[in-house]
């Protein structure tokens, strides 16, 4: 099984389920695979940070500090608390200006990868939630990653966007990070009642072939509610579609990472 791997959740389209996936993936790996996980929020919107039960008094720094301050090490700012399932590097709105701040800085695309070198061996998986833009925070995430995971919303415009996304990923791969690989693509916010959504699922299967996951994530209001309670879907409701879908998706992901599965 692969360990010490960095996986970024990426799509430049907004609101497609990246943050929801990051939270539930990190939680699944911790609960069901007993993995040690570091979850990193690289989005200036800091939605992921808001989904986690963080005690503001215990925050020592954020992704912004890591990317912009040479004197700050990852060890200094990783947020740890027994009440959460994983370690975390939180985000704040200063990250929205990262392109301006890092303008002209040497090796600005490699800040994150350099800073994580000293901690990577401590974690089975590092999961990075990216913003819906290809800014320097996202580029830093891609340069650091072994894999990217792409959620695609079940709508026509989302499918069109994936071609562009793959182009950008290939550029990063060629110029900055040859080891970068697509772990897979999956459909989110799927609505059974819409014929269109079935077509989109089939299109994704044809376009991405072995990279497409069979599991799709249905629209489920419980997935919207659980972050308000600062919980993953696994802790929030074990009987809803959101639980079933994210559980099944994680089994597929786990197999791709070379993990063993005891089939029921
Ligand atoms: N399968 C789902 N069913 C219903 N609601 C969902 C589902 N997945 C995500 N949501 C909700 O949709 C909204 C957008 O999801 P999320 O924040 O995960 O997307 P995102 O890709 O991270 O967005 P952004 O690009 O702004 O970072 C959130 O309110 C979330 O709770
Ligand atoms: Mg998000």
- Read off the pLDDT of residues 76-114 as tens digits, 9 standing for 90 and up: 999 999 999 999 999 999 999 999 999 999 999 999 999
**Predicted pLDDT at 136:** 97
Tell me whether residue 22 is in a domain.
yes
pLDDT over 80 (residue 254):
yes
Strand order in the sheet with 5-9: 87-89, 37-41, 125-129, 5-9, 147-153, 181-188
Task: State which of 13, 19, 91, 165 you would mutate to test the pocket of ligand 1, scoring each by most atoms of that ligand within 8 A of its C-beta.
Answer: 19
Closest C-alpha to ligand 1, atom 14: 15
Residue 212: closest CA among 190, 186, 188: 186
Contact at 8 Å (CB) between 89 and 46?
A: no
**Domain assignment of residue 215, given as a range:** 5-256
pTM check: above 0.95: yes
Which residue has the CA at smallest separation from atom 15 of ligand 1?
17
The CATH number of residue 191's host domain is 3.40.50.300
The alpha-carbon radius of gyration of the chain (Å, integer) is 17
In a domain, 44, yes or no: yes
Provide the domain count of the chain. 1
**Does a structural domain hold residue 35?**
yes
Ligand nearest to the CA of 227: 1
Window from 47-56, 68-77, 198-207, 215-224 with minimum mean pLDDT: 198-207
Question: CB within 5 A of ion ligand 2: which residues?
Answer: 18-19, 47
263 pLDDT more than 80 = no
Tell me, rounded to whole angstroms, the distance of Cα 87 from its chain centroid: 14
Please provide the average confidence, as pLDDT, over all residues in the chain: 95
pLDDT digits (tens, 9 = 90+) for 146-194: 999 999 998 877 788 888 899 999 999 999 999 999 999 999 999 988 8
Tokens of 146: 């072994």
| Residue 263 CA, ligand 2 centroid: distance in Å | 32
Confidence of residue 241 (pLDDT cuts 50, 70, 90): very high
Decide if 263 is inside a domain: no
C-alpha angle 112/133/186, rounded to 5°?
A: 95
């Amino acid at each position: 099984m692969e360990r010490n791997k960095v996986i970024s959740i990426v799509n430049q389209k907004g609101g497609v389920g990246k943050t929801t996936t990051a939270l539930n993936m990190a939680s699944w790996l911790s609960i069901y695979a007993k993995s040690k996980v570091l979850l990193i929020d690289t989005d200036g919107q800091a939605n992921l940070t808001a989904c986690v039960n963080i005690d503001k008094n215990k925050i020592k720094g954020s992704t912004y500090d890591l990317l912009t301050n040479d004197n700050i090490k990852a060890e200094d700012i990783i947020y740890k608390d027994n009440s959460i399932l994983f370690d975390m590097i939180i985000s704040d709105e200063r990250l929205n200006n990262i392109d301006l701040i890092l303008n002209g800085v040497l090796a600005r695309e490699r800040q994150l990868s350099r800073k994580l070198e000293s901690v990577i061996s401590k974690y089975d998986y590092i999961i990075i939630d990216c913003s819906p833009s290809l800014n320097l925070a996202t580029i830093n995430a891609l340069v650091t990653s072994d894999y990217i995971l792409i959620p695609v919303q079940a709508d026509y415009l989302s499918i069109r966007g994936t071609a562009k996304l793959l182009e950008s990923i290939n550029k990063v791969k060629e110029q900055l990070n040859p080891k970068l690989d697509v772990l897979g693509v999956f459909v989110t916010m799927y609505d059974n009642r819409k014929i269109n959504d079935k077509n989109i699922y089939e299109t994704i299967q044809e376009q991405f072939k072995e990279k497409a996951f069979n599991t799709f994530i249905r629209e489920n209001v419980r997935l919207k509610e659980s972050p308000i309670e600062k919980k993953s879907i696994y802790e929030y409701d074990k009987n809803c579609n959101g639980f079933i879908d994210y559980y099944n998706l994680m089994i597929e992901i786990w197999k791709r990472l070379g993990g063993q599965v005891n089939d029921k």
